[in-house]
């Protein structure tokens, strides 16, 4: 597994740059790192809200929420989520929130 060094922290990730292992490796430095690779110029409260909701949902349910549940709980339509996270809720937001890589027939 490759490692990523950022601002003095190091993270173990898979080929796609998702955090491996449990959710505890996640911290603000990780968020700052993902920002640089996922086309996000500035972190806003809206970004943090999405990340927080994703992490809460994952801790409670053990899965990432469906897109329309994410839209409902955040109040952001999908269009807004793509404005915040250009790679979309999966590759962008879930990666930044430290959730495991989405699977299935992607």
CA distance 50 to 25: 19
Question: In the chain, what is the greatest distance between 2 CA atoms, to the nearest angstrom?
Answer: 37
The DSSP line for 10-53 is EEEB-TT-PBPS-GGG--HHHHHHHHHHTT--S--HHHHHHHHH
Phi-psi region of 104 (alpha: psi -120 to 50; beta: other; left: phi over 0): left
For other proteins, the closer of residues 23 and 66 by Cβ is: 66
Given the rule CB under 8 A, which of 2-10, 24-32, 46-54, 88-96 is the region that contacts other proteins? 88-96
Question: Is position 47 an interface residue for other proteins (rule: CB under 8 A)?
Answer: no
Question: Is position 78 an interface residue for other proteins (rule: CB under 8 A)?
Answer: yes
CA distance 84 to 76: 10
Residues 2-31 vs other proteins: string with x where CB under 8 A? -------------xx-x-------------
For other proteins, the closer of residues 6 and 88 by Cβ is: 88
Active-site residues: which are they? 105
Chain residues in the site for other proteins (CB under 8 A): 15-16, 18, 39, 63, 66-68, 78-79, 82, 86-91, 95, 101-106
């Amino acid at each position: 597994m490759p490692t990523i060094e950022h601002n003095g922290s190091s993270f173990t990730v898979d080929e796609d740059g998702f955090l491996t292992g449990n959710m505890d490796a996640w911290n603000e430095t990780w968020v700052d790192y993902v920002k640089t690779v996922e086309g996000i110029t500035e972190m806003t409260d809206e970004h943090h809200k999405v990340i927080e909701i994703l992490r809460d949902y994952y801790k409670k349910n053990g899965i990432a929420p469906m897109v329309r549940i994410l839209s409902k709980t955040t109040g952001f339509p999908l269009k807004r989520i793509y404005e915040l996270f250009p790679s979309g809720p999966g590759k962008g937001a879930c990666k930044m929130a430290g959730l495991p890589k989405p699977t299935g027939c992607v």
